[in-house]
Structure 1
């Protein structure tokens, strides 16, 4: 997509794409899109489920269930019919896989974040450059079949950073994501909003579906993931985020992702060294 394309042109292209998705046949449609920083994909829905993967950059997905920031090396699953908008944070290279409801048995019916396996990441790249609705037995059809099968192997993660809709609280969350710290407290945030601790706790839970402490941990994790993926030492990442020791950071990391930072780091570097 040309770098000089305007926001209005992007919006028109998006409207055309949504209509096209309702008309095209075939079990899987894979589309690449390049978005500039600050662009907003307006609220919409489609009859296909969507696996939304930001190859580069960060997206904020808003649905009736909440707002979700998708971490690097992960994707968000949007079931068919879910109304959603997408806010672009930084220049984003998006890869979307749209899947027909009858494409395979057992498609997930709930919105959630998944980790991408090495195989799925490669299949997404191949699907994007393949022809739409490839003939049976062709390479594209084999890629599509394997992609549908691999969907069932994507591990669900308790991630996706929900954002509140209330403007003042949302502004606090945005500032925290820009500079996260494990030492932020409920009392500090409640004071900024001129709320009691009890009122703030209830409001935060209602707006995000998470306790403040869990949300804070996930925000810190989001800040750590791209730095680890870029090869930064675990020690420097942990200390820069405000953790008093590497073991304290590792404990949080394993609780959230199920693996240690070093294991995540080695796996991510191996994935990036694979040809695309």
Structure 2
């Protein structure tokens, strides 16, 4: 199925409903949730998925596993998706929080085949076998570290979301503490207790996540300078340490090959 609203087919008695959707550039899916678990694969472009607990940046040709009944918001940057909407009872192993994973060639081809199915595809034929194999392949995926947590308290969450929308390499713990009327030590302790990271470490990862969509249209050198790195080498080293692969893997030239 392609470009079909989930609401039109959610009632169909199939554990796995594959749907492909093409989105206009910059499209935003406002806050919503699904009864089913969702495997959201960006066949093209970059997605940024927000929940109350964190932000997940989904690079090209990766996917995010979204738990059932999880309220989320998605920003689409040149994205054509291949989604699976899955009955929770069929995936008791599904992660409890959103998780970014890679999509190797076999899984990608299975997804491309599945979105051609009718909603009431035969369970006993080829389509049913592909649907079952998709779940086995997804269960084998390892998580990728393309996310940052969002604090539970409103004031810290506001600081973090504002930073994610416009990362400032010159931001300091002292300035953030002052904005919340706290001492720097108390602020840092509270921030770490809610996110597991110090504010400086959190900001560093947030800046690197912000680089992923920028790499679609700019060079490694340009993106590194925009997010505050002194040299392309420093940016590349930090990005590779954080995500296990260099930023050149996400440039337009690389993702087009």
> TM class by shorter-chain length?
0.7 to 0.9
Q: Deviations over 1:95-124 (max 9, x none)?
A: 4312234547x7334324223324234433
Which residue in the other structure is 1:40 paired with? 30
* TM-score normalised by L of structure 2: 0.76
CA distance in 1 between partners of 2:221 and 2:170 (Å): 18
Match runs of 1:137-216 below 5 Å: 137-138=125-126, 140-216=127-203
> Is the 8 Å Cα contact of residues 55 and 149 (structure 2) preserved in structure 1?
yes
Is 1:134 aligned with 2:126? no
Q: Among 54, 57, 82, which residue is 1:70 paired with?
A: 57
Which residue in the other structure is 1:49 paired with? 37
Q: Among 96, 108, 113, which residue is 1:110 paired with?
A: 96
CA shift, 1:185, in A, is 2.1
* TM-score normalised by L of structure 1: 0.72
Which residue in the other structure is 2:83 paired with? 96
CA distance in 2 between partners of 1:25 and 1:196 (Å): 56
CA shift, 1:196, in A, is 1.0
Q: Among 227, 230, 235, which residue is 1:244 paired with?
A: 230
CA distance in 1 between partners of 2:254 and 2:27 (Å): 29
> Is the 8 Å Cα contact of residues 46 and 58 (structure 2) preserved in structure 1?
no
Which residue in the other structure is 1:227 paired with? 214
> Is the 8 Å Cα contact of residues 40 and 85 (structure 1) preserved in structure 2?
no
Indicate the structure with greater helix content: 1
RMSD between superposed Cα atoms in Å: 3.3
Tell me the matched-pair count. 246
Q: For structure 2, which runs of at least 5 residues remain unmatched after alignment?
A: none
Q: For structure 1, which runs of at least 5 residues remain unmatched after alignment?
A: 1-12
Select between 68-77 and 220-229 the one with higher mean Cα deviation.
68-77
Which residue in the other structure is 1:265 paired with? 250
Q: Among 241, 245, 254, which residue is 1:255 paired with?
A: 241
Q: Secondary structure at the match of 1:84?
A: coil
Select between 240-249 and 88-97 the one with higher mean Cα deviation.
88-97
Select between 159-168 and 54-63 the one with higher mean Cα deviation.
54-63
Q: Deviations over 1:234-274 (max 9, x none)?
A: 12211221111223212221121112223x237x745544x
CA shift, 1:189, in A, is 1.2
